[in-house]
Amino acid sequence: MEKGPIVTVLHDGKLPDPHLMTPVAERATVRYTEADRLADALRGADVLFVYDFLSRAIPGAWPAADRLRWVHMAATGVDPVMFDELIASDVLVTNTRGVFDRPIAEYVLAQILNFAKGLPESRRLQARRQWRHRDGELISGATALVVGTGSIGRAIARLLRAVGMTVRAVGRRARAQDPDFGVVSDDLYAELGRADYVIAIAPLTPATRHMFGARAFAAMAPRARFINVGRGELVVTDDLVAAVRSGTIAGAALDVVDPEPLPSGHPLWDLPEVLITPHNSGDTAGWREELVAAFTGNFANWIEGRPLDNVVDKELGYVPA
C-alpha cells in the first residue's frame, strides 16, 4: 500500500543501498525502476531521484510525469535532464554538487604529473625493459587555465595553487580578484595561449557544447596539454584528434569523451600523447553512498518544507555560484 509522497528512483540495475534509503522509505513510497519501465514508475510520482545519472531515458518518459515536483540528479552535471519540456515546467531540479570536488581535483593533478614527469612513457619503457634517461618538467610555476568556475573548478584551482602552479580561469563573468582563481576572464580565446595546461570542467549547455574545436586548439600553445573532466561533448572529437596528431597541442588527458564509451577502433586509443580513463575521475571509495546521502538529506529538506540544497537554474543549466 502506497504511503505519503511517491519517490521514483531510476537506476541501471545497481540499486542504492536500501539501508541508506531508509530515511526516505519511512516517509514515502519508493519505486525502483530501470529505464525501460520509467514511464510507468513516473505516473503519480512526486519526486524523481536519478541515481542512474548517465541515463538518457527521462525525456522519452516525461509525458507520464503527471504529478512530478522535483528531480534530483546524483551527479554534478544535469545535462541529461535539461530538455525543453522540463525547463519550461515548474519542476525543481537539484544536483549533488560537492561530492566529486576533491576527487576530480586530485585526478587533474595526477594527470598533470603524468605529463610533466613522463610517467606513461616510463611505464612503456619498463614494459620493454629499456633504461632510457629523460628529463622531466617542473609543474611549479606552470600555468593552468581552468575553464568552468563551479565548485569542482574551484577545488582544482586550490589544489594546483597549493603545488605552486599559476591558475587563471574562464567563466561567464569576468573578475580580477577571485579568491580561488585570481583572474577570471570571459574570453576563452584570449586566455588559451597563456596556458601550459587547459582544464575543461564547464557544465554542458548550448553555450558550451563544442567550445573546444579547431579554433580553440589552434589558439593553444604547442606545449599545452588539454585535460577534460567535464563532458565529452564540450569537445569536437575529430578536431582534438587532428590537433594532437599535428602537434598543435602536446597531448590530452580525457576522463570524458564523445562518443562515450569510446569505441574500440577509435583513433584516440592509439595516440601515445593521449591518456584515457573511463569517466571515473570522481569515483573514490564510498562515492555511491555519498550520492544517496546527499539525496536523503535533501529529501528531508523537501518533505519538511525547507529550501532545497543545490537548486539548478534551468535556464543556465547549472547551480549558480
Q: Find residue 235's DSSP bridge partners.
A: 212
In 3D space, the residue among 100, 271, 278 whose CA is nearest the CA of residue 201 turns out to be 100
Name the catalytic one among 154, 168, 231, 233. 231
For position 185, what pLDDT does the model report? 97
Crossing angle between the packed helical segments 101-117 and 151-162, to the nearest 10 degrees: 40
- Per-residue pLDDT, 285: 93
Q: Residue 1: its pLDDT value, please?
A: 60
Is the pLDDT reported for residue 86 higher than 90? Answer: yes
Is residue 296 over pLDDT 70? yes
**Catalytic member of 34, 121, 137, 260:** 260
| Share of residues in the chain with pLDDT > 90 (%) | 98
The reply to whether 101-276 shares the fold of 6-99+285-303 is yes
Alpha-carbon distance of 229 to 107, in angstroms, equals 9
pTM to 2 decimals? 0.93
Q: Residue 251 in contact with residue 222, Cβ under 8 Å? A: no
Over residues 272-283, the pLDDT tens digits come to: 999 999 999 999
pLDDT in tens, 187-211: 999 999 999 999 999 999 999 999 9
What is the 8-class DSSP label of residue 275? Answer: E
Which cell is 240 given? 582534438
CATH of domain 6-99+285-303: 3.40.50.720
Mean pLDDT of the region 171-178: 93
User: What does the pLDDT average to over 131-156?
Assistant: 97
Active site annotation includes 172: no
Residue of 2, 12, 80, 83 whose CA lies nearest to 44:
2
- The pLDDT, as a whole number, for residue 318 is 93
Indicate which residue of 31, 72, 225, 279 is catalytic: 279
What is the C-alpha separation between 291 and 73, in angstroms, rounded? 9
Please determine, for residue 106, whether its predicted confidence score (pLDDT) is greater than 90.
yes
- How do residues 61-70 score in pLDDT, each as one tens digit? 999 999 999 9
Is 191 marked active-site? no
Cβ contact 87:65 at 8 Å: no
CA-CA distances (angstroms) from residue 40 to 36, 63, 91, 169? 9, 10, 19, 44
Closest by CA position to 272, among listed 300, 250, 294: 250
131: Cβ–Cβ under 8 A, 6 or more apart, which residues?
A: 125
What is the pLDDT at residue 4? 87
Q: Which class for 306: exposed (0-12), middle (13-18), buried (19 or more C-beta within 10 A)?
A: exposed
**pLDDT given at position 321:** 75
CB-based contacts of 276: which residues, under 8 Å, 6+ apart? 253, 254, 257, 262, 268, 269
Buried b (16+ CB within 10 A) or exposed e, 27-54: bbbbbbbebeebbebbbbbbbbbbbbbe
Residue 19 has pLDDT above 90, yes or no: yes
Instruction: Give residue 56's pLDDT band: very low, low, confident or very high (50, 70, 90).
Output: very high
Q: Does the pLDDT value for residue 3 go beyond 90?
A: no
pLDDT classification of 97: cutoffs 50, 70, 90? very high
Distance from C-alpha of 55 to C-alpha of 46, rounded to nearest angstrom? 19
Q: Where are the domains of the chain?
A: 6-99+285-303, 101-276
CATH H superfamily, domain 101-276: NAD(P)-binding Rossmann-like Domain (3.40.50.720)
**For residue 46, is pLDDT > 90?**
yes
Q: Determine the Cα–Cα distance for residues 122 and 132; give it in Å rounded to an integer.
A: 9
**How far apart are the C-alpha atoms of 71 and 93, rounded to whole Å?**
5
Cβ contact 215:168 at 8 Å: no
Which residues partner with 200 through β-bridges? 147, 228
**C-alpha Rg value of the chain to the nearest Å:** 21
Is 69 one of the annotated active-site residues of the chain?
A: no
Q: How far apart, in whole angstroms, are the C-alpha atoms of residue 302 and residue 308? A: 6
